[in-house]
Structures are given as structure tokens and as C-alpha cells.
Amino acid sequence: MSRLLGVIDAATVMGGLQDLTLNRSVASIPFAGRYRFIDFVLSNMVNSGVDSVAIFPKHQYRSLMDHIGSGKNWDLDRKRDGLFFFPPNFEPNETTSIGSFSRLEQHIEFFKRSHQDYVVIASSYVIANIDFEEALAEHLIHDYDITEVQHNGKSLEIYVISKALLIELIEGRRSSQFISVSDVVKQPLHNFKIGAYDHKDYTAIIDSIPAYLNHSMDLLRHDVWSRLFTQDRPIYTKVKDEPPTKYSSTAQVSNSMIANGADIRGSVENSIVSRAAKIGKGSKVKNCVVMQKSHIGNDCSLEYVILDKDVRVLDGTSLKGTAEQPLVLRKGSVREAAMVKS
Amino acid sequence: MVKKKCVAMLLAGGQGSRLHSLTTKIAKPAVPFGGKYRIIDFTLSNCTNSGINTVGVLTQYQPLVLNSYIGIGSAWDLDRRNGGVTVLPPYTEASGVKWYSGTANAIYQNLNYIEQYDPEYVLVLSGDHIYKMDYSEMLDYHIQNEAEATISVIEVPWDEASRFGIMNTNEDLEILEFDEKPAEPKNNLASMGIYIFNWKSLQKYLDQDNLNEESSHDFGKDIIPLFLNEGKRLMAYPFEGYWKDVGTVKSLWEANMDLLEENPGLNLFEHSWRIYSRNPNQPPQYLAASSEVTDSLINEGCVIEGKVSRSVIFQGVSIGAGASVHESVVMPDAVIGKNVTITKAIVPGDITVPDGVTITPEDGNEEIILVTKELVEKLRKDVTA
């Protein structure tokens, strides 16, 4: 049985991703054709042997709850331990800083009742394949109070801490003035021994629309996907009963990642195409991310465009963004070819 | 147990010997089909989509894969508090082990399973066919016609009728006679192996058949004649739509190719009648810059670097650069090496086809090649020689 308790702080709001978070939290932004951001950290926990994971959402968490469900897809529908979902009480001015003590305090009983002695507290938006057992080993060898998981010196806002210290910090938050685990690590003046665990493998932090597109394109590199999606540490997600993808006689696909249930009749280059997306005949899709159930009609031309879920691009439409400023088509929106007056 | 209106009994013990190496280790209903599914998925999904949620699956031949695949039935939403899916293998009694000696005998030996639910109707199915059918409509037809038994039939071309069990009916589709593979068929309505029985009558005739030592304990040959001899009302239920017995390598290949039509007879993309299966949870497929994919179905987890045309590719397959796969079916986790040419073949799962090998039928040969480990080994030696 693992000594680690998992906590995913899904309260983050990111201004840079606003176009993709109108109806959902950052944690449930679709990524890599069939996943959501949270799938990565949640699968990392499960693959590290964590049997008990608590998710603390804050804003717009309907889609997140729908995605996670009972935790069955992560094998977390257990009689003992398993998955816990802790929606927040109403606190208007609360911090969204990772590991907020006031948020954790609302469910302190969970920590007190759990048998695990250590806690991994993680943000919900890091795309990586991390072994938290290794981070815990580092934490124990050096006798750190808090270990921060980093990549090339940059914080991933993932922390390992003993449960006893965490409870002490939560209960003492009013006198200590520390507001979160992240806050403790960032403050210069205290007596805690803060260490770092460096995750050397591929890691992406997605905090803006250009970063979203850029890191989506990373997935097309063999060295990236082969290390992110491994056989022994798979990334789990909510499975859908989509059929295999169908390619027609006019399909032309190159250097792209295509999820199941898609219907490809046009040309697709350097792109990510999600579940049940449709790309019509004569259309050219280049450097794009097409999210699930979005339909691109016939004879369209799209470059550097991110299509959120359920977008309709009608026949003959041309849309162009740039790598620095990708065009985002919001969830459920419809785009048609500009009307030309005769 | 809560009473059920209709219980389904799904016969899944068949060997499917004409599928050769594909069924040496698994039963025919477990054979992969359509890039993602196993044959039995179609019948199980039909049950769920028809609102029939109590299904006994009768297994016998090589049941390991089938049993673990079905599990508690959650993939088909058949993990129910009351009913759901139950795998029913042969079992031992005080008098010894009793293997299922025929389709009717398999049901006879599980009468106590059906009794628990005290149903009005029993639906008998076979796990060998690819089709979509609403069994609830057939049940309505059975009830409206006040039949004792209803058999689903499909029109087959007259010149092929002698390969099937043919139902001779009157104009109202009442069955007068059952002709197993008639030399001179009087009708072209073939039995699809789908039966609805009134439970009480079925029970009676199964008991009767069991006492007959001459009987082969087969539904078509033995049970249906018992109903007919006593003048019971038997109806034929005409089915229109795609239905295929995938009992041979050729027909399995053809049924896969049928899916690639522009408007296939059996549409896997239909939302209102989903075909459910165990989902493998693999990353999306990756099509490299060197790939060329047309007229094909490809499942998740594949890495395609070569050319794929008119083919069905299952999950986790890799196809190397310079390879060309045409009019073929490649099953889960097979590896197709670089510069391989494969035409009109079925590549079973877990087979590795080494670089540079060519597998293609000789001119004029209509047979579909079933790739085996032995064939691959021989070709590998030819390439290196």
C-alpha cells in the first residue's frame, strides 16, 4: 500500500487560456486528441501506486466531474480509498494558489482519517509522465520538509510533504500567515527545509493559447509521444465507444495525431484531430488542433486554428492564425465563408 | 430474483474451425473484427440497445479469452444489479462432467439459470454473426402474432439457398417446414439462428428432446420439428439489413472490406446504435509524414509510416516506412516491418512481419492469405537467403 496520498488542486484560473475555459476549468481542457489536462497528473498518481486521490475543484467543475465520474477509468472506484471529490464552500476572496490551506481546511477530516503518511499536492495542468514514488524517495533521503517537483529548475507546482506537517500548516494558517503550500515554498523567511526533485523527462506547462498550440505540436515528435505515452505507465482517460477512424479515398494525412471515431476526407498536416471530428473533402487543415466532435466542411482552408469542441466550420471557409497568435474558435461556435457581394 | 420478461441465451461455444489459426486459441465469437471489436460485440451490443439486459453466454471451446473479455459485462452496460451478463460454461454434476452436446443441449443444461428469472420469453442467439438488429421489435412481432416460436429469417440469393437452413412458409410467414441445407430449395428465407420461444413451450420440448437418444440436440434439426409436429404456431420474422456469417477466412475478410464502402451496409458510426466493446485505452494514432492512408479504418495506438489502402487496422499496429498494405486486415499489436508488401491478407494479432517481406496472392488466386508464424518464418528465410 502506498504511503502517498494524492491531492489535485484544480482551482487554478489562467487568464491566458480564457478562450478555452469559458465553460470548463483548466483541469478539464482537452489535450492530445482524447485526454484532458487532469488525466496526466491523475494517471501519474495512479501509476505511482497512489490509491487515494482527492480532487479540489473551484470554478466551472461540471465538465470535470462528468469526466472523472467514479474514477473507474483510473481504477480508483475502490471500497477503501479511491477517488474523492471535494467541491469548495463559498469563499469569495479565497486564493487560487496551489495547496490553499483554507481550501484544504474545509476537508481536513479527509487528511486526518487517511492512513497515508505523505501527501503529493499537485496542480492540474502539467503535461508529463512523473513517478511520484521517486520524488518521495528524494524527499525522505534528504529529510526535506517540503519537496518541490521541478523541470529544468522551473517549479511544476507539485509538492511532496508529510501529512503531519501539512495538517500543522493548515491548522496554524491564521497565526503563520502562510496561505498555501506554494506560498510556504516561495517565502524566503521560515525554518522549513525546502528541497527540489528534478523531473528530467518531457514536461509542458500550458499557460497560454500559443503554448497550448506549441505543446500540442510537440506531441508529433517521436521522442515526445513515445515518452509521454508508455506501455507501462499509460495515461488513462474517460473512454468513449468510438469506432476506428475512417479515411476516405481523398484523405491525405501527414505528421498528425488522429483520435478514434474521426472521419477524414480532406488533407491534414501537422495537426491534432480529436475523437469524432470530421474533415470534409477538399479541405486543408495545417498546424491546427481540432477538438472532439468539431466538423470542418468541404473546401475549407485552416491554418494555426484551434477548434474547441462542437465547432462547425461551413463549406468554403478560410481561417488563418499564426504560431504566435493562433485563432481560437470557441466551443459550439459556427464559422462560415465570408459572404461576397455580387 | 425479480421476474424478467425476456432472457437472452447467447451461444458462444463454437470453434469456428474454418477460421484455422485464428481460432486455435480462442473461440470464434472472440475473433477480432472491424478494427476494434470482437465478433460477439455485435450480439451483446444488440442486446443492450434492444433493452435486453439479462444475457447468459454459453461458452465451451477455448473460453479463457472470451470469459475474461466479457468479464462482468460493463463494456456493454450489462453489469446490472439484477440480471446482467452471466458466463455459463459446462459444469460437473454428481453423475459426471456434461459437455454441451448441441445448441439445444447447451440451453437444456442451463434451464435453472433461466428459471431464476421466470421469464415469459427466451431469446436464443448465436455469437457468430455481424449484424445490427432490434430484438425488441422481433419480440413485439412474436407477441402480436401469438406465436409459440419466432425465427428470424433473411432472404438469400436462390442459387445460395442450399447452403442455409431454409424456412418454408405460407403467405403470412407462418413456418410450415424447416429444410436444413436443401438440395432443391422451395424457398429462399434462411434462418439467422435467432429464435424467440415462449418459455413454457421451450422448457417442455427441451425436456422431450433430452430424452431422445437419437437426437443431435440442435435447435434447427431437432427442436423446431418438435414444435411443428404438434402443430404449434411458428412465425418467420423477416429481417432486412446487413447480416453476415463470418465463418471462413474469406467471409471474415469480406465483412471487414464491407465496412470500407462509402455507405456501408453496417455503419459503425451510427450514434443511436453504438457497437460497444472493451476499449483498449491507447493514445491516438500517429500518421507520419511518410504515410499515405486512404479508404481505411484505423484504430488508436497505431503508428503508420507506410502506405495503407482499403484496409482495416486494429489498435497498436505499427506499419513501417516503405511498407504497403492493401486490401488487408491487420489485427491488434501486429508489427509490419519496413518495405513489406501485403495484399489481400489477414494478419493475426502479435505477428511480426520482418522487413522486406512480400505477402501477396499469386495471379488468379482468389483465396485470402491467412498469415501465420510459420509463413512469416519461411518468408524471412527467403529474404535473408
Assess B34–A contact: CB distance below 8 Å, yes or no: yes
In A80-140, where do the E strands start and end?
Answer: 82-85, 118-123, 126-128
pLDDT attached to residue A339: 58
Taking Cα atoms as reference points, which of B65, B53, B49 lies closest to residue B10?
A: B53
Separation CA A170–CA A189 (nearest Å): 18
B286 is in an annotated binding site: no
Average pLDDT, chain B: 95
Element at A101 (helix H, strand E): helix A101-105
Torsion of Cα atoms, A216 then A222 then A226 then A229, to 10°: 20
Domain spans of chain B?
A: 4-258, 286-384
Which residues 42-81 of A are in CB contact (within 8 Å) with B? 73
Site from B275, B300, B311 to mutate, A interface, most A CB atoms within 10 angstroms: B300
CB contact under 8 Å between A244 and B298, yes or no, is yes
pLDDT attached to residue A58: 86
Joined together, the cell numbers standing for residue B383 give 529474404
In chain B, residues with a C-beta closer than 8 Å to the C-beta of A243 are 34-36, 268-269, 275, 297
**Which tens digits make up the pLDDT trace of A275-325?**
999 999 999 999 999 999 999 999 999 999 999 999 999 999 999 999 999
The packing angle between helices B40-49 and B63-70, to 10°, is 30
Separation CA B230–CA B226 (nearest Å): 7
Which residues 225-284 of B are in CB contact (within 8 Å) with A? 262, 268-269, 274-277, 279, 281-284
Cross-strand partners of B329: B312, B346
The nearest CA of chain A is from the CA of B36 a distance in Å of 7
Site from B49, B286, B295, B317 to mutate, A interface, most A CB atoms within 10 angstroms: B286
Write down the ipTM of this complex: 0.93
Assess A248–B contact: CB distance below 8 Å, yes or no: yes
- Contact residues for B224 (Cβ-Cβ < 8 A; gap 6+): B149, B151, B175, B178, B234
**Which tens digits make up the pLDDT trace of B66-80?**
999 999 999 999 999
CB contact under 8 Å between B283 and A34, yes or no, is yes
CB contact under 8 Å between A245 and B299, yes or no, is yes
Phi, psi of A246 (to 5 degrees): -105, 130
Q: What number of residues does chain A have?
A: 342
Band of residue B364 on the pLDDT scale cut at 50, 70, 90 = confident
CB-based contact B111:B206 (threshold 8 Å): yes
Residue of chain B minimizing CA distance to A240: B279
Phi, psi of B143 (to 5 degrees): -70, -45
The nearest CA of chain A is from the CA of B115 a distance in Å of 33
Residue of chain B minimizing CA distance to A246: B297
Which residues 319-378 of B are in CB contact (within 8 Å) with A? none
Average pLDDT, chain A: 95
In chain B, residues with a C-beta closer than 8 Å to the C-beta of A257 are 283-287
Band of residue A189 on the pLDDT scale cut at 50, 70, 90 = confident
CB contact under 8 Å between B293 and A253, yes or no, is yes
Fold annotation for B286-384:
UDP N-Acetylglucosamine Acyltransferase; domain 1 (2.160.10)
**pLDDT beyond 70 at A341:** no
Domain spans of chain A?
A: 4-228, 246-335
Note the CATH number of domain A246-335: 2.160.10.10
**Which tens digits make up the pLDDT trace of B314-339?**
999 999 999 999 999 999 999 999 99
**pLDDT beyond 90 at B93:** no
> Does domain B4-258 fall into CATH 3.40.1550.10?
no
Taking Cα atoms as reference points, which of A255, A15, A193 lies closest to residue B305?
A: A255
**Which tens digits make up the pLDDT trace of B340-358?**
999 999 999 989 999 999 9
CB atoms within 10 A of CB B350: 12
Query: What is the domain class of A4-228 according to CATH?
Result: alpha beta
> What DSSP string describes A40-83?
HHHHHHHHTT--EEEEEE-SS-HHHHHHHTTSGGGT---SSSEE
**Which tens digits make up the pLDDT trace of B8-62?**
999 998 888 999 999 999 999 999 999 999 999 999 999 999 999 999 999 999 9
Separation CA A210–CA A326 (nearest Å): 6
pLDDT attached to residue A342: 46
SS (H, E, C) B223-288: HHHHHHHCCCCEEEEECCCCEEECCCHHHHHHHHHHCCCCCCCCCCCCHHHCCCCCCCCCCCEEEC
pTM higher than the cut 0.90:
yes
